[in-house]
Amino acid sequence: MIRLRHFPLRWLGLCCIVLAMWMSHAARADTIAVDRASLEADGTSGWSLDARFAFDLNGSLEDAVNRGIPLYFTTEFVLTRGRWYWFDEEAVRTQQSIRLSFQPLTREYRVSTGSGLQLAFPSLKDALAVVQHVTSWHVIDRNQVSNDTTYQASVRMQLDVALMPKPFQIDAVNNRDWNLASDWKRFSFTVSDHGKQ
């Protein structure tokens, strides 16, 4: 046993720094980063979200996919307007989920959405690249926003264990390896008289 009085303080400080760096790395290993997010006008109907996320699947998640367990990634979008006299007004709240799966017979990874779109890829890396890039997702109708008003847009992505097959949900809830989510990415959005941001 090491007695603290004989243990140099500089070594104790170094151990604390190494431990903090290790904990920081461990915390980041299971997070999703929002690289960028923006709203683009999609004609006269409203606006679409374009967002890029960055993350890797840990060993447990990669193994689960390769064993045929589908993973669901849900992206949430919220648009609010600040009010000085009350809580913020929520103008839009919507979400979409993307399913990532592996087909052992064809040795293909598949990415599918609720709209029926299904794409096949030869590698997990290629499939993840599609999951990580949300593009042309219509999130705001023109009648949901007012001209010359500033809103706050928020977006995030998470691994949605609630959409997994029931037998795996219990294990996923109690297993830290299945905890994969981003923080909210927030940015301002203003509609001008010309309908542009």
Q: What pTM, to 2 d.p., does this model score?
A: 0.79
CB 165 within 8 A of CB 95: no
Domain segments of the chain as ranges? 30-191
* Per-residue DSSP letter, 184: P
Tokens representing 152 are 């706050």
195: left (phi over 0), alpha (psi -120 to 50) or beta: left
Tokens 């949430």 correspond to 76
Task: Provide the pLDDT for residue 88.
Answer: 82
Residue with tokens 């037998």: 167
Report which DSSP code applies to 68: T
The predicted structure's pLDDT at residue 15? 40
pLDDT digits (tens, 9 = 90+) for 26-79: 334 469 999 999 999 988 789 999 999 999 999 999 999 999 999 999 999 999
For 1, the token pair is 């046993």
What pLDDT does 117 receive? 81
pLDDT in tens, 136-193: 999 999 999 998 899 999 999 999 988 887 777 666 666 788 889 999 999 999 987 5
Does residue 120 carry a pLDDT above 70? yes
More confidently predicted of 175 and 3: 175
Query: Nearest Cα to 51, choosing from 136, 175, 174, 151?
Result: 136
Q: What is the rounded CA–CA span in Å between residue 55 and residue 6?
A: 44
